[in-house]
Amino acid sequence: MSRFFSGKYDKLVPYTPGEQPRILNLVKLNTNECPFPPSEKALQYAGEHTRPLNLYSDIEGVEVRRALAELCGLRPENLILGNGSDEILNFAFMAFCDEAHPAAFPDISYGFYPVFADLNRIPYTEIPLRTGFRVAPEDYYGLGRTIFIANPNAPTGLALTRAEAEEIVKRNPGNVVVIDEAYVDFGGESCIPLVEKYENLLVVQTFSKSRSMAGARLGFAAGSAALIRDLNTIKFSTNPYNVNSMTLALGLGVLMDEETTRKNCRTVMENRAYTVRELESLGFEVLPSAANFLFVRSDRIGGGELYEKLRARAVLVRHFDKERIKDYNRITVGTREQMDILLKNIREILEDMP
């Protein structure tokens, strides 16, 4: 830290993103990206429709919001775009949390929530997950706090039903409830249909997972027009041109090819079911996942050891050192070929165990 770094960040521990190493022929299953690139159709559209790059990008992302509004059954006023959904989550912490409205989220969830809270000096409570890593909706009723819930949750993959999430929103009428649906397209139930019913509901989604755009950075939030206006106040006070023109064009291209998105999600879900069966036959405990990743452990090998041994074989999964989950690894579901390489290596590692 330089002697110039503000003391207000004394205690800030930044988020640790999954590694992006340059290992030859790496099977990368550590950051829940989509294994398929954007479709040719989407890329071609982006190539032909990117606004001239000497001009600023469309500050309101009008066309993407219009297309999303149609997809979500909402109006463009209910939507805001972000430079990835991380940016929108940060905007939500800035807009809807303070000393009087502290934050609350599960103790095992997306690791960025406590970082955003600390960055913005917002007090927060971490609510312990119940047995089996379950988010118990009743733990969130009438909390008097701004609530952040990843649904499906990360890194567990477990999902609440829409009815369970709705009950949390309904029982916190005086506070904003943010439902982070980064992984919803792989089998979860979206709360977007509830947006018009609850003025305190904000649903955040991303183009990084099901829409193959992690590197292009595009996320969005859906909420009442009033909540979206608040987020826009933050956006226009930090970075009005937060989404660049290439990303806007690609986002529109991807939205015009929903068929490919649906097909890719179906393939990932099939590969997920296949990988679950194979891992279970090897004695792994696999949490029921509604996401594009699996959270797994085995009595035959520790979480850290499996992670290291896979890494040495150029297969990268995600391991968290946190006490309650250190026996586990989070494995992104990729192509069938990637899953077969993963499984082959796990079999060999287990065979080599004493």
Binding site for ligand PMP (CB under 6 A): 84-86, 110, 150, 154, 180, 182, 206, 208, 214, 219
Shortest Cβ distance from residue 154 to ligand PMP (Å)?
Answer: 4
Q: Are 192 and 222 in contact (CB under 8 A)?
A: yes
Which among 283, 281, 276 has a CA at the least distance from the CA of 298? Answer: 283
Angle made by CA atoms 214, 218, 221, in degrees to the nearest 5: 125
Shortest Cβ distance from residue 206 to ligand PMP (Å)?
Answer: 3
Shortest Cβ distance from residue 86 to ligand PMP (Å)?
Answer: 3
Q: Which is nearer to ligand PMP, 188 or 301 (CB)?
A: 188
Angle made by CA atoms 224, 228, 229, in degrees to the nearest 5: 115
Q: Which is nearer to ligand PMP, 207 or 307 (CB)?
A: 207
Cα(115)–Cα(16) distance, rounded to whole angstroms?
10
Q: Which is nearer to ligand PMP, 227 or 346 (CB)?
A: 227
Q: Which is nearer to ligand PMP, 143 or 243 (CB)?
A: 243
Handedness of CA 250, 253, 255, 258 (dihedral sign): negative
Shortest Cβ distance from residue 340 to ligand PMP (Å)?
Answer: 25
Burial degree of 75 (CB within 10 A; 0-12, 13-18, 19+): middle
Residue number closest to ligand PMP, CB atom: 84
Shortest Cβ distance from residue 131 to ligand PMP (Å)?
Answer: 22
The gap between the terminal CA atoms of the chain, to the nearest Å, is 45
Q: How many residues does the chain have?
A: 354
Q: Which is nearer to ligand PMP, 180 or 349 (CB)?
A: 180
Shortest Cβ distance from residue 182 to ligand PMP (Å)?
Answer: 4
C-alpha distances (whole Å) from 104 to each of 18, 162, 233 are 24, 19, 23
Owner of token pair 């979860």: 188
Shortest Cβ distance from residue 219 to ligand PMP (Å)?
Answer: 4
Shortest Cβ distance from residue 9 to ligand PMP (Å)?
Answer: 21
Cα(275)–Cα(284) distance, rounded to whole angstroms?
11
The secondary structure of residue 134, as a DSSP letter, is: B
Q: Which is nearer to ligand PMP, 223 or 346 (CB)?
A: 223
Cα(165)–Cα(169) distance, rounded to whole angstroms?
6
- Give me the helices (H) in 13-122, please: 40-49, 62-72, 85-96, 112-119
Q: Which is nearer to ligand PMP, 45 or 207 (CB)?
A: 207
Q: Which is nearer to ligand PMP, 155 or 303 (CB)?
A: 155
Angle made by CA atoms 305, 307, 310, in degrees to the nearest 5: 105
Q: Which is nearer to ligand PMP, 296 or 349 (CB)?
A: 296
Shortest Cβ distance from residue 241 to ligand PMP (Å)?
Answer: 17
